[in-house]
Structure 1
Amino acid sequence: MPGKIPKDFITELLFRTNIVELINRRLILKKCGQNYKANCPFHDDNTPSFTVNKEKQFYYCFGCNAHGNAIDFLIQYEHLSFIESIEELALMHGMNIPFEQTTQHNLYFKKQTLYLLMQKMCKLYQENINFTNSAKKYLSDRGINKKMVDFFLIGVSSFNWNEFCTKLKINKIFEQELLTHNIIAINAKGYKYDRLQGRIVFPIQDHHGRIVGFGGRTLNNILPKYLNSPETYIFYKRKQIYGLYQVKQKCSKPLYLLVVEGFIDVITLTQYNINYVVSSLGTATTSEHIQLLFQNTNLVIYCYDGDEAGKNAAWQTLKKALPYISETKTLKFILLPNNEDPDTIIRKEGREKFQKRINNAITMSKFFFKNILKNVNLSSNDDKFYLSARALPLINTISSDTIRIYLRQILARMIGILDDDQFEKFLYEKEIKKKYRSHFQIKYTPMRILISLLVQNPSLSKAAPEIVKFQKFKLKGLPIFLEILQTCLDYPNINTGQLLELYRNTKIINILKILSKWDHMIVKKEIQNMFLDLLTNIYNKILEARQEYLIAQERIKGLTINEKKEIWSINKALSKK
């Protein structure tokens, strides 16, 4: 396990991160007063309820209650772990993570070593093309030009590892590192070999451009035809999309992503200026792939061969994607003629005709019912029952209320059920949900308002009086307030996002998160006055409680000299109210 990350480093990381810029790279934010708004990425959101505050470095959704700082957003949106989100931000700012009590066995350092080794191997594969005529011929025969070879960092691995080492002057230390990290292997006879030997090599890059793995295409018909490098700490096939880095180099927010099956398909279409082309490494589409694609665009178009295998693959993809479809995120499908793939057909038809195929792609709803109606006779009641039993469970996986109801209505008409009240019921149901949310409120108390004002506006700590005089008194919520106040004083320029990060995994983080997004309904220009008034009122209540205690003690057994001085000072303070 990695050592602990110093809190000061995390605070500095958040200080350097502009949460508006971070989120705007992933969502389309629109300025709205002092905040930025968007449709929430975490729930089915018809109207923008996702708010980002630059001053507080904090986001909050009024619909689903999602909230947090830049680290929380990466955890929720990109499904990263806490450590991975820190790594992501550190990489953005060119900072190394100063783990406490680190050892070279830490996962973080293993990953950094792997990134370095993969980068070196990529350069070696690229250089090796100059020594390999069969690779040059293969690329030339496929019509792949030098620009694409360089853009996609295409290389080649030799059939013989020792020959590869000799040509490219690989030393024994580097070779041992490759063995240690399972990039190359030793067979039963003791010979070292590259797992991608004798193959054209396609480097696979993450969204930062780092090499995380390789795909290989055989040059001499050795099976399998295509092969990916083994999974490692940095390479998971179910989460990786080939070509996405190249797409994002051209356009940070692509209009759509066209998903094809092979490396060559991606490269050839890109060469023909069919932009936004990616591939899922020749593996079956996973839910992680779909989520990653939707994080980068609102429209994903899958292109499959038109044979039965292609149609079945498209149907399986649609079923996996249904839970992630919404009013703003949708799929389309292209089914090519039999025995054609994107690489071959664009060479026959040209760019314009292929672009027409993209423009005329089958919509999600049409493709859904086209497949669900296979072998169904709508004149048969039994077939109608079968259709309903088959379609409804799939439709019900869709999170979007609107799309789910729409598909149910189409299904109802197909099987002869005309329920005109369904939409009215839907609207009523949504209204009930809204009312329920609006009635869910926290009870207002002076201490809760005080803490919420401070959490949402940490700079108020500079206006607070000396806190020493508060510390000896007992009042519900006071210890939390004093601790937060002291933290704000210790970090004079801290914002809400940084403040919450300092209390991650503590006992009070949940109450702080609730209060950080609590609407206290106080206009901005009155916030400081309200804060100071509440502080004064709470202090006076503490004094009154202490005054009553001392008066009672005086009646029972009398007061000491110090207690008499204390009650005198309390009386004096309260007389100024």
Structure 2
Amino acid sequence: MALPQNFLDELRVRTPMASLVGRRVRLSKSGRNWKGLCPFHNEKSPSFYVYEDSFHCFGCGAHGDAFAFVMRAEGGGFMEAVERLAGEAGLDIPKPTPEAAARDRRARDLHGVLQAAEAAYARRLHLPEGAEALAYLRNRGLTDETIRKFGLGWSGAGRGALAAELREEGIQQSQLLEAGLMQEREEGRAVDLFFNRVMFPIRDRRGRSVSFGGRILGDGQPKYVNGPETALFSKRRNLYALDLAREGVFRGASLLVVEGYMDVIALHQAGFGGAVAPLGTALTEEQLNALWQVSPEPVLCFDGDAAGTRAAARAAELALPLLAPERSLRFMTLPAGEDPDTLIRRSGARGFQAALEAAQPLSEALFGLIVGGKAPTAPEARAALRNRLSAAAQTIPDKALASEFRRSLLDRFFSLTKRPGLRAVPRHPRPEPDREAAQAKRARILLAICLHHPELLADIEEPLLLLDLPAGAPQQVRNALLAWVPEASRLDSDELIAHLASGEAASASQWVLKVPDLPQEAGPGGQPKEALDAFWQFFGFLRGEAELAEDARAAREAFEAQGDVATQTRLIRLTEALDALRRGEVEAEPNETIE
């Protein structure tokens, strides 16, 4: 059966080629694309390339889109491929009704209508009536080649001219209404939607005209008008110049999202061939997904004023629940009072390239968008800000990525909100302590607690195994200790230390026991409760807050599901460790002094 073209286009958008092909082919990155050994013929060196919406083998010539890959790989027909991909994408296949077939025919007809309108507008631009519009475009610095490339045109200064011109090509008024080129007035009269405007064709990802935008000449309002929603055009789904940007990104350009038509055109003319723009609305979820189909890390470009900051904050909030390890964003901020068009005209391509290279990853930009210009000092405000940062990270569905975002945000928070009264310059300057050395010392203290208090191992054996200890002696002692536990008749410190001293971990265990400045609770005379508290505190420092918070979350889920003593104990201990670590975060650093 014939399926609507918009359904097939949507299904292609929702089917990432690299993920689809990667189930059968081991792929590796090749620039912005992927490559691997062709699954359709035997080869020893990879000649099979996967792009954002297609594949091609330079060895055997196999090529096509997602449907073609499934058909070729699984031996089924087109409808079988559609059914499988639609099921994975969560789309319902349209039923073959006469109405659906009629809509598909009308859609094909509408593309023809819009193509004819585009040609009419372009012709009119170069007639005497379009002289003012052509002068406007040239005064904006556009070349004739750019004007042609983007299909720019002139609507005419009066009503009814387009309908009269296209009537000669057999296009009826009803088709112009359905294509969004005319609108009905209350009195039942149909008039042109666009008049006295420079015309910008809006094309889909395949380069077919689906609507128009028009900019008025003079001081009238609104300055820009986009066509209405139609069977072909949705403002939420389309992006201006996406068809050209796909080619630009394929050739190495950055995918750039800017605000307006002229910004996009100026960037393309200056060599930034990956520029696109939303269509008079804030960025939408559908547009973000379309962007990620082209590039894993599009760059969002915002003006350096309050409105630009608000737009960036909205975009970040929209993007966070959609992020994944293979798709993110960068944020580019222009100097105050500049847009891409004016910046290029003032500073040239080099000036814009410098601003582009300064674009921040989302994780960095997000902190500034949430915190604003100044960090709070009051404890209540600091706690509220910290909660906001954590909550933002938690909206990311991928747990590992959420953990990394939370770590990054809180690292910046703690560096920005040190306690008043702490000085970064010590009375007796000394080199900043090396992080690796600090982690090694913490590992020695934690292992000393285990050696002097092995009776605690019943509670801490699994967390100890979980720790990513420094390589070498710490891991050697931990492994020997855990291997001893199942064989021990009793958990006695002297017996454990003697056992380690007689084995391969002898020198490593001596390294642990000779740790300088051993805390009292880590020594043989420490009380079990104090030793356990100290273990969890050092465990937290070694594990890291983000990972520990994730451990506690997983333990809570396990306890809620199982409800037994073991899962309850683990939850309690991990919560205590997290609390101990967070208490430790407000202590003065080794190089700081309190006045």
2:385 to 384, 387, 399: 387
Q: In structure 2, how many angstroms separate the alpha carbons of the residues matched to 1:404 and 1:40? A: 25
Q: CA deviation at 1:326?
A: 2.7
Note the alpha carbon deviations across 1:280-331, whole angstroms, 9 max, x for none: 1231011111111011101111111111001110111011111222332221
2:216: which partner in 1?
A: 218
Superimposed CA distance per residue, residues 243-265 of structure 1 (whole angstroms, 9 cap, x where no aligned partner) = 11012234547553110000000
**CA–CA distance in structure 2, aligned partners of residues 81 and 253 of structure 1:** 35
Report what 1:229 is aligned to.
Answer: 227
Contact 2:262 2:341 in 1 (8 A): yes
1:271 counterpart = 2:269 = yes
Is the Cα contact below 8 Å between 1:262 and 1:279 reproduced in 2?
Answer: yes
CA–CA distance in structure 2, aligned partners of residues 71 and 120 of structure 1: 35
Distance 1:173 1:255 in 2: 39
Task: Specify every segment of 5 or more residues in structure 1 that has no aligned partner in the other structure, as ranges.
Answer: 42-51, 60-67, 84-98, 433-577
Cα distance, 1:383 vs structure 2: 1.1
Q: Which amino acid aligns with 1:359?
A: E
Percent identical residues: 26
Equivalent position of 1:129 in the other structure: 125
CA spacing shift, 1:345–1:267, aligned 2, 3 Å: same
User: Match for 2:93 among 74, 82, 89?
Assistant: 82
Over aligned residue pairs, what C-alpha RMSD do you find? 4.2
C-alpha change, 1:147 and 1:368, in structure 2 (3 Å) is: same
Paired residue for 1:57?
Answer: 74
1:5 offset after TM fit, Å?
Answer: 6.5
What is the letter of the counterpart of residue 117 of structure 2?
Answer: M
Question: Contact 1:152–1:246 at 8 Å: present in 2 too?
Answer: no
Q: Which residue of 1 aligns with 2:577?
A: none
2:250 and 2:21 mapped to 1: Cα distance?
A: 13
In structure 2, distance between residues paired with 1:164 and 1:37: 45
Q: Deviations over 1:214-253 (max 9, x none)?
A: 1111112221111100001111101111111012234547
What residue is the counterpart of 1:193 in the other structure?
191
Q: Which of 103, 109, 116 matches 1:107?
A: 103
Q: Write the letter of the residue equivalent to 1:57.
A: E
What is the identity, as a one-letter code, of the residue corresponding to 2:246?
Answer: K
2:343·2:351 contact (CA, 8 Å) conserved in 1?
A: no
22-31 or 147-156, which moves further after superposition? 22-31
Which aligned pairs between 1:353-372 and structure 2 lie closer than 5 A? 353-372=351-370
The 5-angstrom pairing of residues 142-181 of structure 1 reads 142-165=140-163, 170=168, 173-179=171-177, 181=179
The secondary structure found in structure 2 opposite 1:124 is helix
CA distance 1:218–1:170, shift in 2 (3 Å): farther
Aligned residue among 138, 141, 156 for 1:140: 138
Amino acid paired to 1:149: I
Partner residue in 2 for 1:295: 293
Aligned partner of 2:107: which letter?
Answer: K
Q: Which residue of 1 aligns with 2:350?
A: 352
Q: For residues 453-472 of structure 1, what are the structure 2 equivalents within 5 Å?
A: none
TM-score scaled by length of structure 2: 0.57
What per-residue deviation string (whole Å, max 9, x for no partner) do you get for residues 3-61 of structure 1?
Answer: 8879xxx9xxx9xxxx89996999944426859999999xxxxxxxxxx88863399xx
Q: Partners in 1 of 2:212 and 2:51 — Cα distance?
A: 36
- 1:198–1:220 contact (8 Å) kept in structure 2: no
**Deviant stretches of 4+, over 6 Å:** 3-6, 19-22, 24-27, 35-41, 426-432
- Counterpart of 1:112 in structure 2: which amino acid? R
Contact 2:125/2:153 (CA < 8 Å) preserved in 1? Answer: yes
The structure, 1 or 2, with the larger RCO (C-alpha pairs under 8 Å, 6+ apart) is 1
Distance 1:329 1:81, change over 3 A: same
Q: 1:104 to 1:361 in 2, by over 3 A?
A: closer
CA distance, structure 1, for counterparts of residue 292 and residue 39 of structure 2: 28
Q: Does 1:31 align with 2:36?
A: yes
- C-alpha distance in 1, partners of 2:393/2:150? 39
Q: CA deviation at 1:388?
A: 2.6
Amino acid at match of 1:209: G
Letter matched to residue 267 of structure 1? I
Q: Which residue is 2:590 aligned to?
A: none
Offset of residue 360 of structure 1: 1.2
User: What's the secondary structure of 1:82's corresponding residue?
Assistant: coil
The question of whether the paired residues in 2 share the 8 Å contact of 1:255 and 1:298 is answered with no
In structure 2, distance between residues paired with 1:39 and 1:385: 46
Report the Cα offset of residue 190 of structure 1: 6.0
Cα distance 1:326–1:127, how it changes in 2: closer, same or farther (>3 A)? same
Q: Does the CA contact (< 8 Å) of 2:181 and 2:194 recur in 1?
A: no
Please give the alpha-carbon distance, in whole angstroms, between the structure 2 residues aligned to 1:4 and 1:267.
37
Paired residues, what number? Answer: 388
- 2: CA distance between counterparts of 1:169 and 1:4? 30
Specify the code of the residue in structure 2 equivalent to 1:320: L
SS in 2 for 1:213: strand
SS in 2 for 1:334: strand
Distance 1:40 1:323 in 2: 22
Kept after mapping to 2: 8 A contact 1:135/1:200: yes
**Relative to structure 1, is the Cα distance of residues 332 and 166 closer, same or farther in structure 2, using a 3 angstrom cutoff?**
same
Between 1:166-175 and 1:231-240, the stretch displaced more is 166-175
Q: In the aligned structure 2, how far is the partner of 1:313 from the partner of 1:136?
A: 32
2-structure distance, mates of 1:192, 1:363: 49
1:209 aligns with 2:207: yes
Aligned partners of 1:167 and 1:5: how far apart in 2? 33
User: Could you say which residue in structure 2 is the equivalent of 1:404?
Assistant: 402
The answer to whether the Cα contact below 8 Å between 1:34 and 1:53 also exists between their aligned partners in 2 is no
Which amino acid in structure 2 is aligned with residue 31 of structure 1? G
Contact 2:180 2:229 in 1 (8 A): no
User: 1:203 is paired with a residue of what secondary structure?
Assistant: strand
What amino acid maps onto 2:110 in structure 1?
Answer: L
Residue 376 of structure 1 and its aligned partner are, at CA, apart by: 5.7
Q: 1:312 to 1:174 in 2, by over 3 A?
A: same
**Which position in structure 2 is the counterpart of 1:328?**
326
Counterparts in 2 of 1:318 and 1:240: CA distance versus 1, 3 Å: same
Q: Deviation string for 1:536-566 (max 9, x for gaps)?
A: xxxxxxxxxxxxxxxxxxxxxxxxxxxxxxx
C-alpha distance in 1, partners of 2:226/2:348? 30
- Give, in angstroms, the shift of residue 275 of structure 1: 2.2
Cα deviation 1:417-438 (Å, max 9, x = unaligned)? 9953346558979999xxxxxx
CA 350–386 in structure 1, closer or farther in 2 if over 3 Å, else same:
same
Q: CA deviation at 1:76?
A: 5.1
* Structure 2 counterpart of 1:82, one-letter code: I
Q: CA deviation at 1:405?
A: 0.9
Q: Distance in 1 between matches of 2:50 and 2:113?
A: 40
Normalised TM-score (structure 1): 0.59
Distance 2:550 2:334 in 1: 40
Q: Using the alignment, how far apart are the partners of 2:407 and 2:20 within structure 1?
A: 40
Structure 1 residues 225 and 81, CA, compared in 2 at 3 Å: closer, same or farther? Answer: farther
Which letter does structure 1 place at the counterpart of 2:382? Answer: K
- Taking the aligned partners of 2:246 and 2:549, their CA distance within structure 1 comes to 39
1:20–1:54 CA contact under 8 A, matched in 2? no
Is 1:312 equivalent to 2:310 in the alignment?
yes
In 1, the alpha carbon distance for the partners of 2:86 and 2:353 equals 35
Rounded to whole Å, the distance in 1 between the matches of 2:84 and 2:234 is 23
Counterpart CA distance in 1 for 2:126 and 2:330 is 41
Note if contact 1:255-1:299 (Cα within 8 Å) is conserved in structure 2.
no
> What letter corresponds to residue 292 of structure 2 in structure 1?
F
